[in-house]
Homo-oligomer: A and B are copies of this chain.
Amino acid sequence: MQNGAQALIRTLVNAGVRVCFTNPGTSEMHFVAALDSAPEMRAVLCLFEGVATGAADGYARMAEMPAATLLHLGCGLGNGLANLHNARKGKVPVVNIVGDHATYHVKYDAQLQSDIETVARNVSPGFVRTSQTTEQLCRDAVEAVKVARSRPGQVATLILPADVSWGQGGVAEPAPAIAPPAAADDTTVQAVAAAIKAGGRSAVLLGGMALHEAALLAAARVAASANVKIYAETFPTRMQRGAGLPTVDRIAYLAEMASIQLKEIDTLILVDAKAPVSFFAYPGKKSYLPHDGCNVLTLSTPAQDAAGSLTKLAVALGAERSTPALAQASRPGRPRGKKLTAEKVCKAVGHLLPDNAILVDEAISSGLMLSKFTSGAPRHDLITLTGGAIGQGLPNAIGAAIACPDRPVLALIGDGSSMYTIQSLWTIAREQLNVTAVIFNNASYSVLNVELERVGADEIGPKARAQLDLHGPVLKFAQIADGMGVRSTRATTPDEFTTALERALATPGPHLIEAVVPPALTGLKLKLLPHLLGSLDRMPLSVARMLKRKIAP
């Protein structure tokens, strides 16, 4: 005889959910007590809910199976919302278990009472349900997992009232049947092939699952046989790259740069991606980035099989035996000089990145040169900030390390970003995860200095500047990390940094390296940027390309 919580956990395990990232309170105590009834379910305690949700996101990106979260009522869900937003935008499956008051307690409007369902809808449009009885609970749970695991992946939120959890008579359900995604139909494939054959400059834009190896190789075969360029979406959920895989440029974050990339494209073919739009709106600038004459076609949607669709396209183009262009192995040299910069940190990463690493990039402005320096590094997976809600990188690293215990995880994080979920360090230490976190300490919300210029705000005064400035006091990340149990080093020269990174990568387990750097875009460069960007589309393409190589992500 099982109670609801025990049957629920068994149902989750049956459905392939093997990790639960927890931050429980009283209303979740029966779920907590039930954890020991299922040896297959790993429970990972997080000290803040945003760590739990971001870890679940990172886990699923690598495991291709959802993790569960365990959150405490509406406030716990609220704290986890930003990273669930990132998961939603990345089409990543997550199953939230949100504890609630007992059904009969709701009417008393106790302190923690709030409307959980409205909050959940922000991130779980496809599945939000409050289980009303212990008998119904496992059927709800299996449906939640089914919604999460179907393509595109989704965040599903199951709200678990305490009495439904503690009630007797829970009956575990078997795994849900999940239909594999279908490839694009022949008509669509033929139409896309015809558009490519018609001539003009074409590009495929790969997103989501289309950035995994099989789809990348199929896209590269298409590119090799026809006049087709390959782009990746700006912020990939998970992109496989490095030596032996196709080199794929990402659409630039700065709309001005993206417009240059798209200027050359007459036919843009979407594969598990959407047509590029500006990250933010700017006065007098376009939001939608393909040019007016660009023909935008969809080969396959996020609900479909990207690799299968691209393979069919390759066949339709007679490209199935063409030889894809693959990145050659090449690494930058060891960075030299006296002064550490963000660029030199990225160079050291390219110099040392181990085989089969997982690279988490939330370096924001400090990561501008990362793609360039790692394009010929050994094969690795790149995880990026899919929803723009900073504070994702460290939690993602937790999840990735738990999904792939045999692979090193290297997380590059901006100082501003790191502070949203700095509590991650404790879980990294507690679980002794093989994560090396690099924090770029430039003592500013550096990218916002650029944005402040870009939005055309004039007369920028001291109070405004102070909102972007993290001086006074400058954060000491090495100390913060030590306080949470992670071994740490502070590096101020290229040699110190490179040596610290070598040592961290040679010793599995948690490490933090604080890289003290100037903002990546400072002084003259910062002042010039808006002007440069504004004039880019009037430049000769060769100059624009050079600049693009220099500053595109």
Contacts and interface: CB of A to CB of B under 8 A. Distances in A.
Query: How many monomers of this chain does the complex have?
Result: 2
Nearest to A280: B26
Interface in A378-418: 386-389, 391, 416
A475 interface: yes
A79 interface: yes
A384 to B, nearest CB: 11
Given A36-B462, A74-B85, A119-B118, A483 B476 contact: yes
A304 interface: no
A121 B110 contact: no
A224 interface: no
A281 B105 contact: yes
A198 to B, nearest CB: 28
A78 B81 contact: yes
Contacts of A89: 111
Contact of A278 (B48, B82, B110): B110
Interface string A267-289: 00000001001111101000110
Given A110-B280, A457-B32, A75 B82 contact: yes
A177 B449 CA distance: 39
Contacts of A48: 391, 419-420
Interface stretch (A315-323, A341-349, A463-471): A463-471
A513 to B, nearest CB: 15
A281 B119 CA distance: 22
Interface string A68-83: 0000001110110110
Interface residues of A, number: 101
A497 interface: no
For A460, A461, A467, which residue has the most chain B Cβ atoms within 10 angstroms? A467
Interface string A437-474: 00000000000100110111111111110111110111
A183 B12 CA distance: 55
A533 interface: no
Contacts of A112: 85, 279-280, 387-389
A464 B101 CA distance: 20
Interface stretch (A242-250, A423-431, A521-529): A423-431
A122 B114 contact: yes
A419 B47 contact: yes
A325 interface: no
For A25, A33, A76, which residue has the most chain B Cβ atoms within 10 angstroms? A33
A480 interface: yes
A115 interface: yes
For A29, A109, A386, A457, which residue has the most chain B Cβ atoms within 10 angstroms? A29
A106 to B, nearest CB: 9
A49 to B, nearest CB: 8
B35 A461 contact: yes
A166 B416 contact: no
A466 B24 CA distance: 11
Given A467-B24, A480-B484, A105 B280 contact: yes
Given A79-B82, A119-B81, A452-B29, A36 B108 contact: no
Contacts of A278: 105, 108, 110
A33 B468 CA distance: 11
A385 to B, nearest CB: 8
Contacts of A456: 166
Interface in A115-135: 115, 118-119, 121-123
A459 B35 CA distance: 11
Given A281-B102, A479-B480, A29 B121 contact: no
A460 B33 contact: yes
Contacts of A102: 280-281, 287
A11 interface: no
A25 B388 CA distance: 10
16 contacts: A26-B279, A30-B455, A43-B466, A48-B419, A78-B122, A79-B420, A81-B81, A101-B281, A105-B277, A111-B387, A111-B388, A118-B118, A166-B457, A475-B485, A476-B482, A477-B483
Given A48-B420, A78-B78, A85-B114, 18 more contacts: A24-B467, A33-B457, A33-B459, A36-B460, A47-B419, A48-B391, A78-B81, A102-B281, A105-B278, A111-B235, A111-B386, A112-B387, A119-B119, A419-B423, A422-B423, A480-B484, A482-B483, A483-B483
Interface of A: 22, 24-27, 29-30, 32-36, 43, 45, 47-48, 50, 74-76, 78-79, 81-82, 85, 89, 101-102, 104-105, 108-112, 114-115, 118-119, 121-123, 162-163, 166, 235, 274, 277-281, 283, 287-288, 386-389, 391, 416, 419-420, 422-423, 426, 429-430, 448, 451-452, 454-464, 466-470, 472-485
